[in-house]
Amino acid sequence: MSALQFEPGLFVRGVTPPLALAHYRLVAFDMDSTLINIECVDEIAAAAGRKAEVAAITEAAMRGEITDYKESLRQRVALLRGVPASALDAVYAEKLRLNPGVERFVQALQAAGLKTLLVSGGFTFFSERVRHRLQLDFARANMLEIERGALTGRMIDRPWGDICDGAEKRRVLLEVCELMGIEPRQSIAVGDGANDLPMMSVAGLSICYHGKPAVREQAMISIEEGGMDRALALFSR
């Protein structure tokens, strides 16, 4: 189904605005390049002089050209071996910013009573700070292993599994829906990369924010210009 332009740079597919915000109970967000302006793994790699190498893998994974997200992430994290842990603080303080319109969009959904979930293929060092900053309810991400003040090039297995990839994002969204006693159609999923498509495919509403071509082509709402809060124009209050 082809997308229709609702406003310049704002496209809809398979839905007819205005949408009833009261219909939804949960919103799940990707983090890197969605809630925030950077890909954290690329910026950490800059400290090792390997940003271009890591960023090329990230771009291919986000475009869906690398189908094994877990392996692509392991490859990128391995290239971070020896980077001082202090580089994480520097990335957060100097590089990481919320994307335009994110705070307004998140606050509007919270005011409407929606629970908020961050599901990231990135790292807990950043996701927990973003979760706290936006007062999100839940978060899941990957944990970098640090020994003697430096990254080891590995991640730490968690009780839920090893890596938060697209399949895990989908599983977490469905699990939180079940815990809340709601149907997946009462959820919204927001992302930009190929690893967001599994959770977007089961949500009742999918939003692509400045995303890769494959994501723009499948999302019900695609924001291709301006801030994330532009999506609010599609909802009735």
Report domain extents, the chain: 4-38+98-236
Q: Return the C-alpha torsion angle 60, 154, 176, 167, nearest 10.
A: 40
Is 32 annotated as catalytic?
yes
Model confidence pTM above 0.85: yes
What's the sign of the alpha-carbon dihedral 152, 128, 179, 13? negative
Regions of the chain where pLDDT drops below 50: none
Res 67: pLDDT: 87
| Domain 4-38+98-236 fold | Rossmann fold (3.40.50)
Give the number of other CB atoms < 10 A from CB of residue 4: 13
Res 2: pLDDT: 85
Q: Give me 198's structure tokens.
A: 């599994």
- Which of these, 140, 71, 131, lies nearest to 106 by C-alpha position? 131
The answer to whether 228 and 99 are in contact (CB under 8 A) is yes
- Alpha carbon distance 203, 99 (integer Å): 22
DSSP 55-112: HHHHHHHHTTSS--HHHHHHHHHHTTTT-BTHHHHHHHHHT--BPTTHHHHHHHHHHT
Residue type, 90: A
What's the sign of the alpha-carbon dihedral 60, 66, 72, 75? negative
Res 206: pLDDT: 98
pLDDT in tens, 155-178: 999 999 999 999 999 999 999 999
pLDDT in tens, 39-76: 999 999 998 899 999 999 999 999 999 989 999 999 99
Task: Tell me how far CA of residue 148 lies from CA of 29, 48, 71, 108, 145, in angstroms.
Answer: 33, 17, 25, 43, 10
